[in-house]
Amino acid sequence: MNDSRHIASAFDRDLDSIHAKILKMGGLVEASIVDSSKALESRDQELAEKVRRGDAAIDALDEQINDEVANLIALRAPTAVDLRTVLAIMRMTSNLERIGDLSKNLAKRSDVLGQLTQISGATGSIRRMTREVEAMLKDALDAFIQRDPDFARDVIERDREVDEMYNTLFREFLTFMLEDPRNITACMHLHFIAKNVERMGDHVTAIAEQVLFYVTGETPEGSRPKADVTSSDMKYNPEAEPD
Amino acid sequence: MYDAPKSLETTLDQKTAKITARDVQVHYGDNHAIKDVNVNIEANTVTAFIGPSGCGKSTFLRCINRMNDTIDICRVQGKILLDGEDINDKRVDPVQLRAKVGMVFQKPNPFPKSIYDNIAYGPRIHGLAKNKADLDEIVEKSLRRGAIWEEVKDRLHASGTGLSGGQQQRLCIARAIATEPEVLLMDEPCSALDPIATAQVEELIDELRQQYSVVIVTHSMQQAARVSQRTAFFHLGNLVEFGDTVKIFTNPEDSRTESYITGRIG
Ligand SMILES: Nc1ncnc2c1ncn2[C@@H]1O[C@H](COP(=O)(O)OP(=O)(O)O)[C@@H](O)[C@H]1O
Ligand SMILES: [Mg+2]
């Protein structure tokens, strides 16, 4: 990979600006996941509100990055590593923006959950799952900074574990609901939360794939590991849940 | 399917290559301008030569139709094959060769003659027309293929030098086409043209690919990306990288190629 500067220094300034913004956005999204899962666990309404408000900053960065990328493509016609950088960042920013939305959705549910009976063990499992997704995001962004393809591949692999955690939770919720219909409302909410975290994992995986493309110029061959089996088990499609 | 024996595969390879350069070296006196270049240029393909000024693009281009013969201090070694035949063989007449391998230059250089005579000149000296009607037909066909017929059909006997720069360049392309070449060499053909004329010449190049192999030297990365299917990057007389244009412009192998096309300080 090429570390030398462009002859046109304005080109470097434009690229540096986009770089700085995507890293800032990544940091905000990481913080949002941490906060929303904390809010969920401790039923902290104030923290939840902070997450909801914070999403606007993430959306604004997404917009700014898209504008700057469009300008850079129009004015500087980037090629090779420059082209891969802006393409990767453009896709990464939309994945980050989606993760931000999902995190906001988690925070929203903490209010409702505060009024519901506790389902034993579920919040602990969701916490572990969320932590794993947050760690994956941090590693994907580090892989981007360090241009480390192995690190990125490792993140992609780890999404399997998140999928498996989700599958386990899904079965648990089903059991609870069958045992006592009074659990249904709480379990449905918890399920949406788990599903949202699982989808965050998918977006993090997509980010790691973009890092691979940016560094190596290749898109990972074959489909990514997909261990979420619930949609094939069941007629109901949890993907259809609105945010 | 069966596995072709290795020797057969290489024969097939050479068959699809219109031009093959083997260990080509060029010296101008002590100046080693082209160093050990090996390359296959395919039929019906636009191949772009890119690289910093003085890296040897024009020199290598001139090897393909023996234009370097005309430069006293220039010494060319190695082999250049056109359809498998050595173009430097003693039996090859360079004038015949240049009819088969046409050339278009940076500055449009129409002869100070009529548009008609600019085109008719080559076919006349190569005896390609039996009579006036034949020649008229060649002139019209060439001007049409040069995408300039509509603009000049009513003033064929006006001087070629009275045309606009872009028209002159298309006239020169039509002139090069008139001798029914198989390969068209173009050395920065658009560097003196405005964006509209450039777009017209680029469109023409894309059409010419149906019939000819086109090799174009260009300083515009965007032009190379737009018109070519294969790109060769030259640096200090070496052919550093040669491959699919898309690959070169998205993910080049060599860091020198990358520095050059992304506009970095090597
Ligand atoms: N007619 C010539 N006489 C002597 N040296 C030449 C001549 N043409 C080119 N050269 C030298 O050969 C090298 C390659 O030049 P050239 O092929 O024109 O490069 P490019 O087309 O890539 O700019 C340069 O060092 C140049 O000075
Ligand atoms: Mg030149």
The complex scores an ipTM of 0.74
Alpha helices per DSSP H over chain B: 6-16, 57-64, 94-100, 115-125, 132-145, 149-152, 165-177, 195-208, 221-227, 245-250, 255-261
Residue B235 has what DSSP assignment? E
Give chain B positions within 8 Å (CB) of A218.
Answer: 251
Percent of chain A with pLDDT over 70: 87
Residue A224: closest CA among A203, A195, A193: A203
Instruction: Measure B188 CA to ligand 2 centroid, in angstroms.
Output: 7
Looking at the domain B17-109+181-262, which fold is it?
Answer: Rossmann fold (3.40.50)
- Cα–Cα distance, B186 to B173 (Å, whole number): 9
- Cα–Cα distance, B49 to B36 (Å, whole number): 16
For ligand 1, whether the C-beta of B200 sits within 6 Å is: no
Instruction: Determine which of B231, B240, B250 to mutate to test the interface with A (most A C-beta atoms within 10 Å).
Output: B250
Residues in Cβ contact with B87 at an 8 Å cutoff, skipping those fewer than 6 apart: B64, B65, B66, B80, B81, B97, B101
Encode pLDDT of A217-230 as tens digits.
Answer: 988 765 555 666 66
- Cα–Cα distance, A125 to A40 (Å, whole number): 12
Per mean pLDDT, which range of A114-128, A188-202, B73-87, B137-151 is the poorest?
Answer: A114-128
Using the Cβ of B264 and the Cβ atoms of chain A, whether some distance falls under 8 Å is answered with yes
- Cα–Cα distance, B132 to B154 (Å, whole number): 18
CA distance B245 to chain A (A): 11
Q: Which two tokens stand for residue A112?
A: 């409702």
* pLDDT, position A231: 57
Average pLDDT over residues B152-158: 96
**pLDDT band at residue A113, thresholds of 50, 70 and 90?**
confident
Segments making up each domain of chain B, as ranges: 17-109+181-262
Residues in Cβ contact with B11 at an 8 Å cutoff, skipping those fewer than 6 apart: none
Give chain B positions within 8 Å (CB) of A82.
Answer: 262
Neighbours of ion ligand 2 (CB under 5 A): B 58
Please judge whether B249 and A83 are an interchain contact, meaning their C-beta atoms are less than 8 angstroms apart: yes
Q: What's chain B's Rg over C-alpha atoms? A: 19
**pLDDT band at residue A11, thresholds of 50, 70 and 90?**
very high
Average pLDDT over residues B212-221: 95
Contact A200, A103 (CB under 8 A): yes
- Cα–Cα distance, A57 to B84 (Å, whole number): 65
- CB interface of B with A, residues 171-230, below 8 Å: 221-222, 225
Count of Cβ atoms closer than 10 Å to residue B35 Cβ: 16
Bridge pairing between strands B101-104 and B183-187: parallel
Residue in B with minimal Cα distance to A8: B263
Please judge whether B251 and A4 are an interchain contact, meaning their C-beta atoms are less than 8 angstroms apart: no
Count of Cβ atoms closer than 10 Å to residue B21 Cβ: 21
**Domains in chain A, CATH or no CATH each:** 2-240 (1.20.58.220)
Average pLDDT over residues B30-54: 96
* pLDDT, position A230: 65
Residue B38: closest CA among B48, B57, B24, B56: B24
Closest partner residue to B265 (CB to CB) among A5, A80, A81 is: A5
Contact B161, B155 (CB under 8 A): no
Q: Which two tokens stand for residue B145?
A: 């293929």
